[in-house]
Amino acid sequence: MTDRPQDKDAANSMWGGRFAAGPDAIMEAINASIDFDRRLYAQDIRGSRAHAAMLAAQGIISDSDAKAIGEGLITVLSEIETGDFPFSAALEDIHMNVEARLKDIIGEPAGRLHTGRSRNDQVATDFRLWVRDQCDAAIAGLQALIRAALSQAESGADWVMPGFTHLQTAQPVTWGHHMMAYVEMFGRDLSRFRDARRRMNESPLGAAALAGTGYPIDREATAKALDFARPMANSLDAVSDRDFALEFLSSASICAVHLSRLSEELVIWSSAQFRFVSMSDKWSTGSSIMPQKRNPDAAELIRAKIGRILGATVALFTVMKGLPLAYSKDMQEDKEQVFDAADHLMLALAAMTGMLSDLTANRDRLEAAASAGFSTATDLADWLVREAGLAFREAHHVTGSLVALAEKKGCDLPDLTLSDMQAVNPAISAGVFTVLGVHNSVASRQSYGGTAPDQVRAQIARWKEILA
């Protein structure tokens, strides 16, 4: 990026002649944001076109000036998108870069574009538009991910697998039930981004520097032109609010936690010790010296994304926590974190969607693991309460004794004989064997939201209807 002498002159003229000379190199470096806020170019140009059209409609500038501004901004947009735009650090930010180039193209009418607004409400509008677009992208990404998880759940609605607590075998569940747990998590993420989008969908444009403007502007018109629901009701709040960015980052952080948890399970499940799933070659890498290795690198990288996304969230909270109203230059530090977090969230969502779509679950291995580790012990305790009339605490103790006996014999609970069980408690009858198999266990969990296959299929149908 090269600064032309006229850029420094333009920068000084935009400051209204208050400064006789341009900032020195260090001040320019700390003050300029063009290296990152150039990403707001489309939103900046869209906001400026809406503002110019409103100014003309209100009789504040002429129709001919508004037309020249609108056409000139389209030229600027084209130059940026084709890589022909001369970005300049001396002009500090995307707003002044666009306006200076507009002046090069259309001349004197460009100076009327900034009537009735400030860079404060301009950047607040641009940034809000950009974050709103990212909410839309996250919503679309989450919908695709949920569909991939639903497909996995549907294919394995009745495939038994071990359910874990403390990463120890707890009770049998189904593959479909486990996948649907992530559908619920990502569904909450979906609702958070939708809620955040709804709250941020108010326009700051027209708040000017902090107090509004004396020009007879029409804020309802610019809000409508930019697809906002309404103008923001307080000009101080409009230029100083970054709740929309914080809420986006908070939602992104929670979503990244969910992605990380699923990634962790994929890393564990794809290991030689578990062999629950196989990752496709698209999402795995090999080792430079160990030819047998298939490393789940994509899952591991997604697992790590929470670090930078949560870091961005903490960074922006820290920037905003002590700022007096209204605008302070600290708020220039609001964008890089959001840009980075949004980029990596979208990358992680796309990668996880791809991994789930290509993932192969090992049904036989899942069932074998589900049958080990005394996973039906709770079913036995429940049967003792229901059928033998024991209090649950007594049933828990009897079941623990039977588990100890099975461990001593080197077998699982269903492999104990009826006489073995009756030696521990004579109230046990042959009917106990109807609950000890893993398929019987999952089929019995008929409570709403339980792991029974028909419950799982009902939840799959509900989510398909939600997404439709």
Nearest Cα to Cα of residue 100 among 14, 2, 206:
14
Give me the helices (H) in 19-155, please.
25-31, 34-37, 41-57, 63-81, 94-106, 119-155
Number of neighbours of residue 79 by Cβ within 10 angstroms: 16
For the residues of 147-208, what is the DSSP string, one character each? HHHHHHHHHTTT-EEEEEETTEEEEEEEHHHHHHHHHHHHHHHHHHHHHHHHHH-EE-TT-T
Q: How far is residue 459's CA from residue 286's CA, in Å, rounded to a whole number? A: 38
Q: How far is residue 245's CA from residue 229's CA, in Å, rounded to a whole number? A: 18
Phi, psi (degrees; rounded to nearest 5) at 165 = -130, 140
Which of 62, 287, 328, 429 is catalytic? The answer is 287
Q: Are 319 and 330 in contact (CB under 8 A)?
A: yes
Sequence-ordered list of residues with C-beta below 8 angstroms from that of 125, at least 6 positions apart, any chain:
43, 47, 203, 204, 205, 226
Number of neighbours of residue 99 by Cβ within 10 angstroms: 22
Residue 261 Cα distances to 98, 154, 186, 266, angstroms: 43, 21, 12, 9
Handedness of CA 435, 440, 446, 447 (dihedral sign): positive
Q: How far is residue 453's CA from residue 40's CA, in Å, rounded to a whole number? A: 48
| CA Rg value for the chain | 31
Q: Is 396 a catalytic residue?
A: no
Q: Is 166 a catalytic residue?
A: yes
Which of 166, 288, 419, 447 is catalytic? The answer is 166
- Joined together, the tokens standing for residue 88 give 């300049």
In angstroms, how far is CA 275 from the centroid of its own chain? Answer: 29
- Fill in the amino acid letter for 228: F
Query: What residues act catalytically?
Result: 166, 287
